[in-house]
């Protein structure tokens, strides 16, 4: 599981983190680990208000409480992310399409020793 997190402060200061959590798991586990890492880093930096953007619909729905899962190995990761979000004065979690989250994707691939994903051509509706 490769994790990629990009933090951007209100002043425009940027921090990138790339790494691997211990063990093995599926993409949903990786997304929840990355979400928790972002929250942990933001708390350590002294943030009190946070807007998180993630490309995992599953992580966003489960952590915000919009949906629930019976997958036992995801439950502690969801609870950990929810508890971390509760430490902020305000915390919002928004889903974004993967092509709008290319920097975090690049960092997660980097953690696994993979090359950056090929750029996709965005298609527009007429």
Q: What's the domain count of the chain?
A: 1
The two beta strands, 49-54 and 90-95, are: parallel
With respect to residue 36, please indicate whether it lies within any of the assigned structural domains: yes
Q: Contact 39/50 with Cβ under 8 angstroms?
A: yes
With respect to residue 59, please indicate whether it lies within any of the assigned structural domains: yes
Q: Contact 90/120 with Cβ under 8 angstroms?
A: no
- What per-residue confidence (pLDDT) applies to 97? 87
Instruction: Assign residue 65 the CATH number of its domain.
Output: 3.30.420.10
With respect to residue 120, please indicate whether it lies within any of the assigned structural domains: no
Q: Contact 106/116 with Cβ under 8 angstroms?
A: yes
With respect to residue 126, please indicate whether it lies within any of the assigned structural domains: no
**Domain range enclosing 100:** 3-111
With respect to residue 122, please indicate whether it lies within any of the assigned structural domains: no
Give the SS3 label for residue 47. Answer: coil
With respect to residue 125, please indicate whether it lies within any of the assigned structural domains: no
With respect to residue 121, please indicate whether it lies within any of the assigned structural domains: no
The pTM (predicted TM-score) of the whole model is 0.83
List of residues 6+ apart from 115 with CB closer than 8 A: 109
* Euclidean distance between CA atoms 72 and 39, whole angstroms: 22
Q: Contact 77/28 with Cβ under 8 angstroms?
A: no
Q: How confident is the model over 63-79, as pLDDT tens digits?
A: 999 999 999 999 999 99
User: Rounded mean pLDDT of 33-49?
Assistant: 94
User: Rounded mean pLDDT of 51-64?
Assistant: 92
């Amino acid at each position: 599981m490769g994790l990629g997190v990009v933090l951007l402060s209100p002043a425009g200061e940027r921090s990138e983190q790339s790494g691997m959590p211990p063990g093995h798991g599926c993409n949903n586990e990786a997304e929840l680990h990355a979400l928790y890492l972002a929250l942990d880093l933001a708390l350590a930096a002294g943030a009190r208000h946070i807007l998180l953007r993630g490309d995992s619909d599953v992580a966003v729905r489960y952590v915000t409480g919009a949906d629930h899962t019976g997958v036992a190995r995801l439950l502690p990761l969801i609870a950990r992310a929810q508890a971390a979000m509760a430490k902020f004065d305000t915390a919002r979690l928004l889903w974004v399409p993967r092509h709008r989250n290319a920097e975090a994707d690049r960092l997660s691939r980097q953690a696994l020793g993979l090359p950056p994903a090929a750029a996709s051509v965005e298609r527009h509706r007429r």
